[in-house]
Amino acid sequence: MSGEIVLGHALWQIMFHGSTFVPVHVGVYGASETGKTTLDMQLTTKGEIRPLGEQDRTHHKKSWLGRERMPEATRKRVKSDGIKSRTIISRDVGGHAEYHSMWLRDMIERNVKTVVVVVDHRHLKDNRNTDNQVALGYLVEALSNKTVPKGLSIRARLRAKRYTPNRIILLANKADQWMEDEDFFMWERGLIARHSIFDVFRNTLYQLQGMQIPVHLGAVSARYGWNVEGAILKGMKI
């Protein structure tokens, strides 16, 4: 009997801890220059990331069919104190408007269940700048309308009409530039979702709520690695 108990406990341990090594497909999208590439680099090689120039921006070459080539998806081990670590698979997809349909291709082809949308504070500096709102709005409208992008395989096209992610994580990046002391205290108390940086997205977030897609809001600094893994792991729990 005791042997059965030990064996059962061992199997439970393997199932519980082994599940954290089962890779989760994560899609990372957002407007150009919000810090998606820096975030991808931070998850791959931790530490302060140098500022990226235009030559470092993500651009995609076209195939002979005239379609942008998808970058390779890579595995990352995401860890944070007090939260169960996970293995994720993600791609660094460009944020320029001509690449927006690639976000849909990536989500549907890989059957992405966790979507990370990266924004920054440009709309706080200039309320005429709507880059972040346009990017998130495009994504939500495409999900709402079940938009089928060009270039999908037959299998992916069949999946497209019933595809819905399990969750969306909205990350306000470059916190080292826009967060003040009182904002940090707000984050410590778990109230960062109330910050004004998210106000321009409220109506879109309500739309996601109506679509029954839960959203987690977080603040990060991809360049310095602050709260990147913690925010993603917390968002993956909803």
Is position 26 within any domain? yes
- At 14 the pLDDT is 43
Alpha carbon distance 70, 14 (integer Å): 35
Query: For the domain that residue 94 is a member of, what is the CATH number?
Result: 3.40.50.300
Cβ-contact 88, 116 below 8 angstroms:
no
**Structural domain total, the chain:** 1
Q: Has residue 163 been placed in a domain?
A: yes
- Range of the structural domain that residue 153 is part of: 22-236
More confident residue, 192 or 11: 192
Question: Does residue 208 sit within a domain?
Answer: yes
pLDDT, tens digit, 9 for 90 and up, residues 72-91: 888 999 998 888 899 999 99
Which burial class, exposed, middle or buried, applies to 110 when counting CB atoms under 10 A from its CB (0-12, 13-18, 19+)? middle
Q: Is residue 13 part of a domain?
A: no
1 within domain boundaries: no
- Dump pLDDT digits (tens) for 214-232: 999 999 999 999 999 999 9
pLDDT band with cut points at 50, 70 and 90 for residue 16: very low
**Tokens linked to 89:** 């698979």
Per residue in 162-188, pLDDT (tens digit) is 999 999 999 999 999 999 999 999 999
**Domain-embedded: residue 6:** no
pTM exceeding 0.85: yes
CA distances from 37 to 51, 120, 121, 212, 219 (A): 11, 13, 17, 29, 17
